[in-house]
């Protein structure tokens, strides 16, 4: 739809903040619900239907965002029924799930949505009673007035309210924090009943009439093209209806070359694929070797990087003149997303339009991807949002959606494209590995006076770092150290890169926060006191904090240490480790408690987390995100690594790529610090501090410093 901004404002009656409230939810006749705006419908029985706009992949936004609307609307949660919204920019603005954005981006918008609907209901009641709306009050989905007997339910008022003028933002009075009744409570996820009874919620569960089942074989080394394939042979196999080659458009995020097989069941397609023989042309294919890359990075570590990311003061002379100095080389591997729901998409191309049923973190981008690929207008593509069986950043890319759409268009039938777990492992957009050659200098009092980080990363295009493979100039403690520098070297790679939970922080935190502890140990100082001192150092001229608030940081660090019993004496063979990280607007400190025996058998007993993300929306969901982040962080640091040889990922399934299991999960104590800053998201920021906290705890327990992930590489295993 091509609507100018002026027309748009006229159409919606809304000016600022991306609040698109003038649109109404389409109402089904059977629901007899009145629509007050794009998010809120009310049934005569006083059921409040609230649309959840963003993809749900386990981060809890399908519950948390409607809670914000319900709070300002002044209804009981038990009255609320949540539906997944359509993908529609005009109604809902941007719809996506990444970067822990959902809560901070929608906090004010959704409060206005709720308050606006409430104001319209109050207007309707005031008109019915012929009283001033200001004298009316609301509670639990009912409007009352001091001079009126009884109250009117929203359900009774809804159809009249739907005809009331939409109030402007300046006319809305939002609640103050002390008036919140729902926000901050523990609310069980809105899909939980459907989940535990096995209802068809996920992309993979969608059943479209006339569905055919497809698989798509691509070159295991990205960039390879089909030279020859035994298509005729495969076509004769049981249940197979179509076999064809697609050349693709060369975009890893859309459609790469391969062979599609369509059959009458998933198993028939999987079975036929076992008989498919493709000879790949590899001249443009990835040829990375992780073994070689690690050697190369170690060679490069001695020098400085090709580019300077940031530099202030005089690092070299400060290091040379420092009372004590220390160097260390950190390394971490490529890792996969490995969401539990293997990539899949159902697509139905018909009469120049295309419907897709997809677990996507970026549904609006998918519309454009599909339209461009199929050469149809974006308006001819409809994406039906389904619940996602995990994302972690993998479903930011819509390659599977593009493949399904292209296969349906070519075959002329509706298809469900199903990747195997092996496809999912072989064709991910991986978190790139990385290396840090760190040097630090201390003055006579043991304070940090120099910090130098040669960051070695990867580039797919030969120009800029791979997705999620860059390092910000603002990474603490660089902005606070008098003489500090980050230089960067990019190694060429053909391995598709992607954003993996807390991109740009998830592994950098391990190197940086471990090295701070190394410097504290070199200085012979207490890590807690050392870290707080560093955090309190003045910002260097020209340096940026990019949202890091040193006071909030100090609060969470102090709180985590106190809650974990930082200064209490500890038995031999056990240790506490501390780390802090700021990412995705969240300030989080973690203390890990480990025990390690002489055979490097490790147990992570307890992780104490202190986080400041502003007011919590759903306490249950928020706590769950922190628990999950801690376990994800530990799982990854303990045993996850991709070996890459000949441009091919060697790990094919969960027997080789082994996420943590229940017996190894630690106790996790979560403390949210109360603050009046605007609420921010929790999908990511509790993950980065975990790895350095555990590494630092291992050092405290044993004196062994771990500088390479996963820990399994250094001989550690779980008890």
Partner 1 sequence: MATVTLTINDQIRTVEDIAEDTPLLWVLRDSLGLVGTKYGCGGGYCGACTVHLNGLPVRSCSVTAVAAVGAKITTIEGLANEGLAQGDKHLHPLQQAWIDLDVPQCGYCQAGQIMTAAAFLDANPSPSDADIDQAMAGNICRCGCYVRIKQAIRMASDGLAYNAMDAEEQQV
Which residues of this chain interact with partner 1, rule CB under 8 A?
A: 57-60, 186-189, 191-193, 195-202, 204-205, 207, 213, 238-239, 265-268, 271, 338-342, 387-392, 418, 420-421, 620-621, 624-625, 627-632, 635, 653-655, 659-663, 665, 667-668
Minimum CB–partner distance for residue 96 and partner 1 (Å): 17
**Which of 190/226 has CB closer to partner 1?**
190
Cα distance between residue 130 and residue 111, in whole Å? 27
- Whose tokens are 């030279």? That residue is 227
Minimum CB–partner distance for residue 239 and partner 1 (Å): 8
Are 90 and 3 contacting, i.e. CB atoms less than 8 angstroms apart?
yes
**Which of 68/690 has CB closer to partner 1?**
690
Helix (H, G, I), strand (E, B) or coil at 83: strand
**Which of 137/656 has CB closer to partner 1?**
656
**Which of 522/624 has CB closer to partner 1?**
624
Minimum CB–partner distance for residue 344 and partner 1 (Å): 9
**Which of 239/565 has CB closer to partner 1?**
239
**Which of 266/522 has CB closer to partner 1?**
266
**Which of 556/690 has CB closer to partner 1?**
690
- Quick one: 163 exposed, middle or buried, by C-beta within 10 A (0-12, 13-18, 19+)? exposed
CA atoms within 13 A on the CB side of 186: 3
**Which of 294/624 has CB closer to partner 1?**
624
Are 475 and 405 contacting, i.e. CB atoms less than 8 angstroms apart?
no
**Which of 149/661 has CB closer to partner 1?**
661
Q: Which stretch of DSSP H or E encloses residue 195?
A: helix 192-196
Minimum CB–partner distance for residue 229 and partner 1 (Å): 23
Helix axes 527-535, 508-522, angle to 10 degrees: 110
- Quick one: 193 exposed, middle or buried, by C-beta within 10 A (0-12, 13-18, 19+)? exposed
Minimum CB–partner distance for residue 603 and partner 1 (Å): 12
Name the nearest CA neighbour of 94 among 60, 102, 345.
102
Minimum CB–partner distance for residue 199 and partner 1 (Å): 7
Cα distance between residue 629 and residue 687, in whole Å? 5
Name the nearest CA neighbour of 41 among 151, 117, 92.
117
Name residues whose C-beta falls within 8 Å of residue 165's C-beta, 6 or more positions apart in sequence.
120, 123
Minimum CB–partner distance for residue 270 and partner 1 (Å): 8
**Strand partners of residue 448:** 442
Minimum CB–partner distance for residue 156 and partner 1 (Å): 30
Cα 564 to the chain's mean position, in Å? Answer: 28
Are 50 and 81 contacting, i.e. CB atoms less than 8 angstroms apart?
yes
Minimum CB–partner distance for residue 216 and partner 1 (Å): 16
Backbone angles phi, psi at 486, to 5 degrees: -125, 125
**Strand partners of residue 612:** 587
The encoded tokens of residue 256 equal 């790469």
Q: Please count the helices (runs of H) and the strands (runs of E) in the chain.
A: 18, 28
Minimum CB–partner distance for residue 665 and partner 1 (Å): 4
Helix (H, G, I), strand (E, B) or coil at 4: coil
Helix (H, G, I), strand (E, B) or coil at 90: helix
**Which of 204/319 has CB closer to partner 1?**
204
Minimum CB–partner distance for residue 336 and partner 1 (Å): 11
Intra-chain end-to-end CA distance of the chain, in Å: 59
**Which of 12/343 has CB closer to partner 1?**
343
**Which of 155/363 has CB closer to partner 1?**
363
The encoded tokens of residue 68 equal 């914000």
Minimum CB–partner distance for residue 549 and partner 1 (Å): 28
CA atoms within 13 A on the CB side of 664: 19
Which phi-psi region, left, alpha or beta, contains residue 338 (left: φ > 0; alpha: ψ -120 to 50)? left
């Amino acid at each position: 739809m091509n609507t100018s901004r002026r027309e748009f404002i006229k159409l919606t009656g809304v000016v600022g903040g991306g609040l698109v409230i003038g649109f109404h939810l389409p109402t089904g006749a059977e629901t007899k619900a009145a629509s007050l705006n794009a998010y809120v419908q009310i049934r005569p029985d006083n059921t409040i239907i609230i649309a959840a706009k963003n993809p749900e992949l386990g981060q809890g936004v399908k519950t948390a965002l409607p809670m914000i609307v319900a709070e300002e609307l002044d209804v009981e949660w038990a009255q609320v029924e949540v539906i997944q919204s359509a993908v529609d920019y005009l109604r809902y603005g941007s719809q996506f799930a990444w970067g822990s954005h959902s809560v901070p981006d929608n906090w004010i918008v959704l409060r206005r949505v709720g308050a606006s609907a409430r104001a319209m209901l109050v207007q309707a009641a005031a008109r019915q009673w012929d009283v001033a709306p200001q004298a009316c009050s609301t509670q639990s989905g009912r409007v009352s007035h001091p001079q009126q007997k009884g109250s009117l339910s929203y359900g009774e008022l809804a159809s009249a309210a739907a005809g009331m003028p939409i109030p402007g933002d300046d006319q809305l009075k939002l609640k103050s924090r002390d008036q919140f009744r729902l926000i901050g409570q523990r609310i069980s996820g809105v899909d939980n009943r459907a989940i535990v009874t096995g209802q068809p919620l996920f992309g993979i569960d969608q059943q479209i009439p006339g569905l055919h089942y497809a698989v798509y074989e691509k070159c295991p080394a990205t960039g390879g093209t089909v030279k020859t394939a035994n298509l005729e042979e495969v076509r004769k196999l049981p249940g197979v209806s179509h076999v064809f080659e697609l050349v693709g458009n060369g975009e890893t995020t859309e459609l790469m070359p391969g062979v599609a097989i369509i059959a009458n069941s998933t198993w028939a397609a999987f079975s036929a694929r076992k008989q498919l023989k493709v000879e790949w042309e590899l001249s443009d294919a990835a040829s990375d070797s992780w073994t070689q890359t690690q050697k190369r990075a170690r060679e490069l570590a001695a020098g400085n990087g090709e580019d300077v990311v940031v530099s202030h003061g005089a690092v070299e002379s400060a290091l040379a003149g420092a009372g004590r100095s220390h160097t260390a080389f950190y390394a971490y591997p490529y890792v996969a997303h490995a969401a539990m729901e293997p990539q899949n998409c159902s697509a139905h191309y018909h009469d120049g339009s295309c419907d897709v049923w997809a677990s996507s973190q970026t549904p609006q981008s998918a519309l454009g991807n599909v339209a461009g690929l199929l050469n149809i207008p974006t308006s001819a593509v409809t994406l039906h949002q389904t619940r996602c069986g995990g994302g972690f950043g993998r479903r930011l890319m819509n390659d599977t959606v593009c493949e399904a759409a292209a296969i349906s268009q070519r075959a002329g039938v509706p298809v469900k494209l199903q990747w195997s777990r092996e496809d999912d492992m072989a064709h991910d957009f991986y978190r790139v590995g990385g290396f840090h050659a760190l040097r630090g200098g201390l003055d006579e009092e043991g304070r940090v006076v120099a910090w130098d980080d040669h960051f070695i990363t990867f580039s797919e295009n030969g120009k800029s770092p791979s997705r999620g493979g860059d390092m910000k100039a603002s990474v603490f403690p660089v902005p606070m150290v008098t003489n500090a520098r980050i230089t960067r070297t990019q190694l060429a790679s053909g391995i598709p890169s992607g954003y993996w939970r807390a991109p740009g922080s998830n592994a950098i935190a391990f190197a940086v926060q471990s090295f701070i502890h190394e410097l504290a140990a070199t200085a012979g100082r207490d890590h807690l006191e050392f870290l707080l001192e560093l955090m309190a150092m003045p910002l260097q001229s020209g340096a940026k904090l990019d949202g890091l608030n040193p006071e909030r940081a100090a609060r969470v660090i102090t709180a985590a240490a106190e809650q974990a019993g930082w200064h209490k004496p500890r038995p031999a063979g056990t240790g506490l480790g501390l780390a802090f990280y700021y990412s995705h607007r969240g300030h989080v400190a973690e203390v890990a408690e480990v025990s390690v025996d002489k055979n490097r058998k490790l147990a992570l007993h307890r992780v104490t987390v202190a986080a400041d993300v502003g007011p919590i929306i759903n306490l249950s969901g928020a706590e769950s995100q922190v628990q999950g982040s801690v376990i994800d962080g530990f799982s990854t640091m303990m045993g996850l690594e991709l070996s890459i040889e000949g441009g091919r990922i060697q790990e094919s399934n969960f027997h080789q790529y082994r996420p943590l299991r229940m017996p190894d999960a630690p106790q996790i104590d979560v403390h949210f610090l109360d603050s009046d800053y605007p609420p921010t998201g929790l999908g990511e920021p509790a993950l980065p501090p975990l790895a350095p906290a555990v590494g630092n705890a291992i050092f405290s327990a044993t004196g062994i410093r771990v500088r390479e992930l996963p820990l399994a590489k250094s001989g550690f295993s779980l008890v």
